Amino acid sequence: MTARWVVWQRPYALALLLGLAVALPVCLAQREAFNEREVKQQPNVQDKEGIWVLDFRFKDPRLLTVDVPGYGRKLVWYVWYQVINNTGEPRTFIPDFELVTTDQPGVYRDQVSPKVQEAICAIEDPTADPKERLTRIKNSVTIASEPIPTSKKDAFPRKVTGVAIWFDTTKEQKLQDSNRFSIFVAGLSDGVSVDDQNTVRRKTLQLNFRRLGDRYYQDSREIRFVPPAGWIYRASKLSIPEKGKK
């Protein structure tokens, strides 16, 4: 190899590396944006006049192995989401997230764990000051502490960001074996219906997913959203007292 070829090759290689350094973050950012999905409100026959519904954005569920206080090292499932209020008035969002597995029947409630939340925030918001991360990405308790502010028409929407967390608290560890599951999100609407048996049903968002692989291959990239997102009236644990009874 001649000295002239070496001199020419070095600037070319340097330019190529600089180009990759610029392109890679752009590609990753595009992938992150592509993974964000937006759910608009949809009418149901049970809707009563005047109900409100918040808009919802989310990323497909992700997996993270982290030390969970009281449980040791666990595989955690979580969903990053944002709530947008286009209803015209401030609304209090009291979230109720349930992850329901269908192939390995089980129901998992959203867990509030500041240590797990901090680990998630470091991934989802790495440029933020560590002291501010827990306020920028809220959990199911802190997001309910203040009403979701209204977004004005023809203006940039005011998004409030949160995270829902699930992990298996049993020895069977069925959650990590599941390949088909749904996430139900209640609290996005005040829509409620009551049937003849006094069963209360809340307007609830249903998101369906499937996962490739097994418990020995746990990778967030193998989780797929199964469209479309749906609004249903789902039975809740709330009840309406009978007349004359308290």
Strand partners, 119: none
Listed as ranges, residues in the chain with pLDDT below 70 are 1-34, 172, 238-246
Task: Tell me the sheet residues that pair with 160.
Answer: 83
Kindly state the tokens that stand for 65.
Answer: 């192995």
Q: Which amino acid is at 52?
A: W
Q: What is the CA radius of gyration of the chain?
A: 22
Prior bond of 228 cis (ω within 30°): yes
Q: What is the pTM of this model?
A: 0.82
Tell me what pLDDT residue 170 has. 80
Looking at residue 7, its pLDDT comes to 43
Tokens coding 223: 């989780």
169: tokens are: 């608290």
The pLDDT, as a whole number, for residue 215 is 75
Q: Measured on CA atoms in the order 55, 59, 63, 64, is the torsion positive or negative?
A: negative
Rounded Cα gap, residues 232 and 101, in angstroms = 18
Q: Evaluate whether 129 touches 137 at the Cβ level (below 8 Å).
A: no
Burial, 2: exposed, middle or buried (Cβ in 10 Å; 0-12, 13-18, 19+)? exposed
pLDDT at 18: 44
Long-range own/partner contacts, residues 96-100 (CB < 8 A, 24 or more apart): 96/140, 96/184, 96/185, 96/186, 96/187, 96/236, 97/140, 97/164, 97/166, 97/183, 97/184, 97/185, 98/183, 98/184, 98/186, 99/166, 99/175, 99/181, 99/182, 99/183, 100/181, 100/182, 100/183, 100/184
